[in-house]
């Protein structure tokens, strides 16, 4: 199936050869609009490709140029809370690898566990806690894809993070750095859970990203990750949590992320 999916994408993009893939989170789809010379492929037009069903997640691949560099954008992600098997996420990432992707940039909308990192902040992910209880690598391991017991000690590549931190400084973009904790969802957390996650050492909480990163590291890709903070965690402020707020705040805060990604890609010419 990996070969079948990558062959269909290859067929549609012709001689484009992106080395960087960007997965766009809730309210962050706008980044794909910045690409020039675009080829758009709807997930439903790729046989075997998992379908995304959340509003605010478009469900298409957009392949084009950002700052002159060829990029593959996944506009609309596949979440475990939709009922997808974690292995479906592995299938997507391994198909990208087969296509020649070497760098994966993951983005997400997340709740903050730090009162000093308010809605609208941009957080560089330095590490994660997999609290989802699931893993995309469960099952028979294909040793040609990667090792049975992959090492995650440098999952969010240290050198790439340093480059991005310097770029952010140069561009005068405030960039927090912290640990992302993944819950399965789809409910927002209780106040007690938010307190517990803070004690565990997390700075932000969300319902995605970890499966993609585990799969990418397994296949030897270098990973860069960002959380756009759309709200404070439950119990850290008055009022209810809502997906509408996530989308709204995500859209607002995404301009900083777009500017940072453009500057970074311009600087490194890769991802
Ligand atoms: N919790 C989990 N996922 C999220 C949140 C949150 O508070 N905000 C955006 N995605």
**Of 196, 206, 250, 252, which is best to mutate to test ligand 1, by the most ligand atoms within 8 angstroms of its C-beta?**
206
Residues 72-99: pLDDT tens digits?
999 988 999 999 999 999 999 999 999 9
What spacing in Å lies between the alpha carbon of 205 and ligand 1's midpoint?
Answer: 6
Q: What is the pLDDT of residue 31?
A: 86
End-to-end Cα, the chain, rounded Å: 26
Task: Check whether 54 has a pLDDT greater than 70.
Answer: no
**Whether residue 109 lies in the annotated active site:** yes
- Indicate the DSSP class of residue 190: P
Q: Give the tokens for residue 91.
A: 């299938």
Q: Are 59 and 72 in contact (CB under 8 A)?
A: no
Q: What is the pLDDT of residue 58?
A: 66
Q: What is the pLDDT of residue 52?
A: 75
**67 φ/ψ sector (left φ>0, alpha ψ -120 to 50, else beta):** left
- Give this prediction's pTM: 0.95
What spacing in Å lies between the alpha carbon of 242 and ligand 1's midpoint?
Answer: 9
Q: Is the CB of 188 under 6 A from ligand 1?
A: yes
Q: Is the CB of 25 under 6 A from ligand 1?
A: no
- The number of helices, as runs of H, and strands, as runs of E, in the chain is 7, 9
What spacing in Å lies between the alpha carbon of 230 and ligand 1's midpoint?
Answer: 7
Q: Are 230 and 35 in contact (CB under 8 A)?
A: no
Residues 152-177: pLDDT tens digits?
999 999 999 999 999 999 999 999 99
**Whether residue 154 lies in the annotated active site:** no
Q: What is the pLDDT of residue 220?
A: 98
Residues 111-121: pLDDT tens digits?
999 999 999 99
**Of 24, 56, 188, which is best to mutate to test ligand 1, by the most ligand atoms within 8 angstroms of its C-beta?**
188
Catalytic residue among 67, 70, 82, 102: 82
List the chain domain ranges. Answer: 2-268
3.60.20.10, 3.40.50.300, 3.10.310.30, 3.40.50.1580: CATH of 2-268: 3.40.50.1580
**Of 109, 114, 115, which is best to mutate to test ligand 1, by the most ligand atoms within 8 angstroms of its C-beta?**
109
Note the residue count of the chain: 271
Segment of 188-202, 227-241, 242-256 carrying the highest mean pLDDT: 188-202
Residue with token string 């490709």 = 49
- The DSSP secondary structure of 45-65, one letter per residue, reads GSTTPPPP-STT---EEEEEE
Q: Give the tokens for residue 170.
A: 């140069």
Any residues with CB less than 8 A from the CB of 222 and at least 6 apart, and which? 102, 103, 104, 157, 160, 271
**Whether residue 79 lies in the annotated active site:** yes
């Amino acid at each position: 199936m990996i070969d079948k999916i990558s062959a269909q994408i290859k067929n549609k993009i012709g001689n484009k050869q992106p080395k960087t893939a960007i997965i766009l989170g809730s309210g962050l789809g706008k980044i794909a609009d910045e690409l020039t010379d675009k080829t758009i492929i709807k997930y439903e037009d790729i046989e075997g490709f998992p379908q995304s069903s959340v509003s605010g997640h478009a469900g298409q691949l957009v392949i084009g140029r950002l700052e002159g560099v060829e990029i593959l954008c996944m506009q609309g992600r596949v979440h475990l809370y939709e009922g997808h098997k974690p292995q479906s996420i592995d299938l997507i990432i391994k198909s990208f690898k087969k296509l020649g992707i070497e760098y994966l940039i993951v983005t997400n909308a997340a709740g903050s566990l730090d009162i000093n990192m308010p809605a609208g902040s941009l957080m560089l992910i330095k590490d994660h806690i997999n609290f989802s209880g699931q893993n995309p690598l469960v099952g028979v391991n294909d040793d040609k894809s990667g090792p049975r017991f992959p090492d995650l000690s440098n999952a969010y590549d240290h050198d790439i993070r340093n480059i991005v931190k310097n770029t952010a400084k140069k561009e005068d973009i405030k960039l927090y750095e912290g640990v992302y904790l993944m819950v399965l969802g789809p409910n927002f957390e209780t106040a007690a859970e938010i307190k517990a996650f803070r004690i565990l050492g997390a700075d932000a909480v969300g319902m995605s990203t970890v499966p993609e990163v585990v799969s990418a590291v397994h296949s030897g890709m270098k990973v860069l990750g960002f959380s756009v903070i759309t709200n404070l965690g439950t119990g850290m402020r008055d009022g209810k949590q809502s997906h509408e707020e996530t989308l709204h705040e995500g859209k607002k805060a995404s301009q900083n992320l777009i500017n940072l990604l453009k500057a970074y890609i311009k600087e490194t010419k890769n991802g």
